[in-house]
Chains A and B, each alone.
Chain A
Amino acid sequence: MLKTFKGGIHPPYNKELTKHKPVEKAKLPQRVVIPMSQHVGAPCEPVVKVGDHVKVGQKIGEAKAFVSAPIHSSVSGKVVAIEPRPHASGAHVMSVVIESDGTDEVYEGVKPPKPLEELTPDEIKNLIREAGIVGMGGAGFPTQVKLSPPADKKIDTIIVNGAECEPYLTADHRLMVERPEDVVLGLRAIMKATGVNRAYIGIEDNKPDAIEAMKEAVKSFSDIEVVPLATKYPQGGEKQLINAVTGREVPSGGLPMDVGVIVDNAGTCAAIANVLKTGMPLIERITTVTGAGVKEPKNLLARIGTPVGELIEQCGGFAGEPGKVIMGGPMMGISQSSLEVPVMKGTSGVLVLQKSEVKTLEPMPCIKCARCVDACPIHLLPTYLGKFAEKGMWDEAEKYHALDCIECGCCAYVCPANIPLTQLIRLAKNRILASKKK
């Protein structure tokens, strides 16, 4: 039996659109918009001024806080503006706008470090921090922070998240097929940095070629095991993945480190490998540009800061009339109003749905069918939580564990009454958290 978790759903995966398409280098953008906040934690402070000339890999945003990650220029050229710009979150966020000079000149400070064998754990962590590496699966938690748990948390297991359970997305899939040795190199750096000698690479079994490639790449490492997982959403959710691979449960309100586990995305591992090999910080990533709304879906290696509209153009533009542009996947991604929003460190995909595909469904009364209950991977009662949120019963919502909701979207996906459960529960969470702060 394949390993998995309880609950979850089987949406149409629609990965055929791009899963056999090798990663292509996206065209160098003429202008990039680089938000100073692309991660969980404190935003960066710009360390360049309008008019400054910057090069590829040069730091433009300094991370002052511990939970933060610096940001680097993804092109060489001139800083033309530092101002709030549209951000994938829907808000306007302070961003550095750089006009490319087309030379793609690399910053002098970018040099390969010592080989991994000679690096100390602290040096590795420092490299990761300075390279601005954050979780690339979407959440964007600074990786180095994850690798530095408090002394009382004993970490014994590293899990590489190669599940890529969001429908449509194939960025990690292609990465694991094309550059499996990079994933392994990054993983070994993490293992060394944390002193852990047991690691798993979890991959959904709908990616047999990735499983094969990764198995081949870990052959000579007896402490790394590739774990095929059942194909089920949200298999790649951190808590679900940990549960499937180790059988452990992250305690409510806790973190993976509370059960001795660190989870890092396959893309994050590859980004670490890139730093080790070239010294280049995180300035580009693979992002899947896909959906029936784009002519020719592709996996593109895109510079951070590239407006998504440019990527869509490189995929032949829109097919039919676009109805929705989503940063990320269809289950947890965020719909966008502007094509100006830039690719960020956590942008695993850009999904364009055709107008005919997006329907606004009229909510009906809950018929208590319990589909949402069966689908919830956290085993909550979304029907109750939704009702509490509708009625503003925040205390009740908290009692029924609203704060444990991972916002995976399973409940809303299955609800035959079209109740926007996930949205309602998100609202309840925000309210509960807001009242706690007071």
Chain B
Amino acid sequence: MSQYKFLITSSPHIHSGESVQKIMFSVAGALLLPTLAGVYFFGTRALILVITATLAAVATEAIFQKLRGKPVTVWDGSAIVTGMLLALNVTPALPVWMVVVGSVVAIGLGKMIYGGLGMNPFNPALIGRVFLTVTFPVQMTTWINPVDGTTGATPLALMKMQGVPTDYYKLFIGNVGGCLGETSALAVLVGGLYLIYKGYVDWRIPVSYIGTVAVLTFILGKDPIFHILAGGLLLGAFFMATDMVTTPVTKLGRIIFGIGAGIFVVLIRLYGGYPEGVSFSILLMNAFTPIINRLTVPRIYGEVKTR
């Protein structure tokens, strides 16, 4: 009986089986829904964009890690998520090489220079997107109409520039111009709810974020339903404002994060120069995340007020 060698480790001796990989692949899986919606409405060019962006993101990460002599960890799935998110956040009319540039920037400048997974303060996909918006302003805002592929404006732009509303049903299903992945509110919702159900997304962020936009637009005399369904709010609220790495770890902090992002979106959409404000609102709140964390440290069990 004594011939065995037993493993000695510190407790606990069991593990939930949860892993970074599982989380990332579940997010990627949920992102397939808006991807499929994008492909349905915009055709194969959408598919090509998503695949290219993803491959470019993974390749960038691998190359960076190789160059620095670090172990290559692309199998953790986080680069896949970044690549997909970036593609879902660009116009389906974007030239393919540009999305590759976006992926390289997202992973390189958005993630690897900070030290890789878990270290980046800002959502990498949004870094990529903002870079593209600034560098290729024309291409990034050339929107196309679903199905026929003719150029057109997004519902938010129509509303902002010409005061033309788009009907809710179209917005909900996705038959409107806009970013590849934000066109169908339905697809985003189903994917997001799946992640909430799996426990990979805290409902507090999408609820406080979307709720704030709804309340504020209503108070300011705008149409809240339109503002929720149009543009990238849903995609941002469920998939980007909930990125674990760049959002607060406390529950209260997440609510504050959502409210803050909601306020920024409304400010930008109604008073800013851009018709859309989701990306900036999330990046801005990413910057506040460390402070929010510090200010919302929970009261511990048995903590007694000292002075």
**CB of A416 to closest CB in B, whole Å:** 4
Complex Cα distance, B244 from A368, in Å, reads: 6
A266 to B18, CA, bound (A): 34
Q: In chain B, what residue has the closest Cβ to A317?
A: B1
B8 x A249 contact (CB < 8 A): no
Q: Are A249 and B117 interface neighbours, CB within 8 A? A: no
Known contacts A252-B303, A368-B244, A414-B16; is-contact A335 B8 (Cβ 8 Å): yes
Q: Which residue of B lies closest to A309 (CB)?
A: B1
Give the interface segment out of A34-42, A172-180, A207-215, A400-408.
A400-408
Proximity bits, B200-224, A CB within 8 Å = 1, else 0: 1010000000000000000000000
* A304-347 contacts to B (CB < 8 Å): 309, 312-313, 317-318, 321-326, 330-339
Whether A250 pairs with B302 at a CB distance below 8 angstroms is yes
Looking at chain B, what size class is its interface with the partner chain?
35 or more
Q: Which residues of B contact A333 (CB under 8 A)?
A: 11, 13
- Known contacts: A9-B16, A370-B249. The answer to whether A400 contacts B297 by CB under 8 A is yes
Verify A367–B13 contact, CB threshold 8 A.
no
Mark the stretch among A58-66, A196-204, A418-426 that contacts chain B: A418-426
Q: Which of B16, B118, B302 contacts A11 (CB 8 A)?
A: B16
Option from B2, B9, B202, B300 in Cβ contact (under 8 Å) with A335: B9
Complex: A57 Cα to B305 Cα, angstroms: 49
* Choice from B78, B116, B249, B299 contacting A373 with Cβ under 8 Å: B249
Asked whether, in the complex, the Cβ of B11 is within 8 Å of the Cβ of A331, the reply is: yes
Residues in B117-137 with C-beta less than 8 Å from chain A:
117-119
A321 touching B4, Cβ below 8 Å = yes
CA distance A318 to B6 in the complex (A): 13
Give the distance in Å from the alpha carbon of A379 to the alpha carbon of B302 in the complex. 10
B12: interface (CB < 8 Å): yes
Q: Are A326 and B13 in touch, CB under 8 angstroms?
A: yes
- Per-residue CB contact flags for chain A residues 365-380 toward chain B (1 = under 8 Å, else 0) read 1111111011001111
How far apart sit A380 and B244, CA to CA, in the bound complex (Å)? 18
With contact pairs A367-B244, A368-B244 given, residues A332 and B12 touching in the complex (Cβ less than 8 Å)? yes
Q: Does A29 count as interface, using CB distance less than 8 angstroms?
A: no
Inside 8 A of A312's CB, which chain B residues have their CB?
A: 1
State which residues 252-307 of B face A: CB under 8 Å. 297-304
What separation, in Å, do the CA atoms of A239 and B303 have in the docked complex?
12
**Stretch of A20-28, A116-124, A281-289, A353-361 contacting B (4+ beta carbons < 8 Å):** A353-361
Q: Assess whether A417 is in contact with B20, with CB atoms less than 8 Å apart.
A: yes
Query: In the complex, are the beta carbons of A369 and B244 less than 8 A apart?
Result: yes
Distance to closest chain A CB from B61 (angstroms): 13
**Majority secondary structure of chain B interface residues (helix, strand, loop or mixed):** loop
Asked if residues A364 and B117 are in contact (CB atoms below 8 Å), the reply is yes
Residues of A within 8 A of B76 (CB): 364
Give every chain B residue within 8 A of A322 (Cβ-Cβ): 4, 6
How far is A358 from B19 in the complex, measured between Cα atoms in Å? 16
B11 touches A353 (CB 8 A): no
Q: Which of B119, B244, B245, B298 contacts A379 (CB 8 A)?
A: B298
Task: Say yes or no: A416 contacts B18, CB within 8 Å.
Answer: yes
**Contact (A413, B14) CB under 8 Å given A335-B9, A378-B300:** yes
Q: What is the CA–CA distance of A366 and B117 in the complex, to the nearest angstrom?
A: 8
Bound Cα distance A414, B188 (Å): 27
Residues of B within 8 A of A364 (CB): 20, 73, 76, 117-118
**A11-B14 in contact (CB<8A):** yes
Whether B13 pairs with A330 at a CB distance below 8 angstroms is yes
State the CA gap A312–B298 with chains docked (Å).
44
Q: Are A249 and B302 in contact (CB under 8 A)?
A: yes
In the assembled complex, which residues on chain A have CB atoms less than 8 Å from the CB atom of B116?
365
> Which one of A367, A401, A413 contacts B12 once the chains associate, using CB atoms below 8 Å?
A413
Query: Does the CB pair A416–B302 fall under 8 Å?
Result: no
Complex interface: chain B residues within 8 A of A254 (CB):
302
Which of A167, A249, A337, A371 makes the CB contact (< 8 A) with B301? A249
Tell me if B23 is interfacial: C-beta within 8 Å of chain A.
yes
Query: Which residue of chain B has the shortest Cβ distance to A239 in the bound complex?
Result: B301
Leading 5 A-B pairs by shortest Cβ distance: A409-B12, A365-B118, A423-B10, A370-B249, A416-B18
Q: A321-B4, A359-B15, A364-B118 are in contact. List 11 more A-B contacts (CB 8 A).
A: A167-B14, A309-B2, A322-B4, A323-B6, A331-B11, A333-B11, A335-B7, A335-B8, A339-B2, A364-B76, A413-B14
Q: Which residues of A contact B (CB under 8 A)?
A: 9, 11-12, 90, 167, 239, 243, 249-254, 309, 312-313, 317-318, 321-326, 330-339, 351, 353, 358-361, 364-371, 373-374, 377-381, 383, 400-401, 404, 407, 409-410, 412-418, 420, 422-423, 426
Interfacial residues, chain B to chain A (CB-CB below 8 A): 1-2, 4, 6-16, 18-20, 22-23, 73, 76, 78, 116-119, 200, 202, 244-247, 249-251, 297-304
